[in-house]
């Protein structure tokens, strides 16, 4: 039986990689659209969706979306089960303590989740009401 050994990484390389991680920091938001008895529910996200820290006047931009269509297209939501999708945003500044998720769109019904408390992982789970 072969024994696997853990490779060693030189300290200088680890330090330079840590700098890259800080530069490329992203925020991941897993969103739940709660179950509904309705058939034909449609959902989508607009590119004009941001994480907003009003206290320091900062907006993090949407850079990726999973399991949801981007405007003008729609995603059909199955009835009677929670529907999950994931949004990835550019990083928040270190001094950010809380932020809003806001879809800034020219019509009613945009997503808005206020006062999301910042955590150490920058991975969040929110419920779309």
Compute the distance between CA of residue 116 and CA of residue 100 in angstroms, rounded to an integer.
Answer: 6
What pLDDT digit, counting tens, does each position of 74-119 carry?
999 888 889 999 999 999 999 999 999 999 999 988 999 999 999 9
Check residues 65 and 36 and name the one with the higher pLDDT.
65
Yes or no: say if 104 and 48 are a contact pair by the CB < 8 Å rule: yes
Residue 19 has pLDDT above 50, yes or no: no
* Nearest one of 69, 59, 62 to 100, comparing CA atoms: 59
Query: Is the whole model's pTM more than 0.85, yes or no?
Result: no
Contact residues for 75 (Cβ-Cβ < 8 A; gap 6+): 42, 43, 44, 67, 68, 69, 85
Compute the distance between CA of residue 127 and CA of residue 124 in angstroms, rounded to an integer.
Answer: 10
Contact residues for 82 (Cβ-Cβ < 8 A; gap 6+): 32, 33, 34, 35
Which tokens in the block code for residue 45?
């996200």
Reported as type and span, the H/E element at residue 23 is: helix 11-23
What pLDDT digit, counting tens, does each position of 37-82 carry?
777 789 999 999 999 998 999 999 999 999 999 999 999 988 888 9
């Amino acid at each position: 039986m072969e024994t696997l050994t853990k490779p060693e990484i030189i300290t200088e390389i680890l330090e330079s990689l840590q700098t890259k991680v800080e530069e490329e920091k992203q925020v991941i938001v897993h969103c739940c659209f709660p179950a509904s008895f309705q058939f034909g529910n449609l959902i989508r996200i607009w590119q004009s969706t941001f994480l907003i820290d009003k206290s320091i006047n900062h907006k993090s931009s949407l850079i990726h979306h999973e399991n949801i269509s981007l405007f003008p297209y729609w995603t059909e939501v199955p009835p009677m089960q929670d529907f999950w999708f994931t949004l990835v945003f550019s990083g928040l500044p270190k001094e950010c303590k809380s932020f809003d998720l806001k879809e800034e769109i020219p019509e009613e019904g945009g997503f808005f989740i206020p006062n999301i408390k910042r955590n150490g992982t920058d991975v969040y789970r929110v419920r779309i009401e």
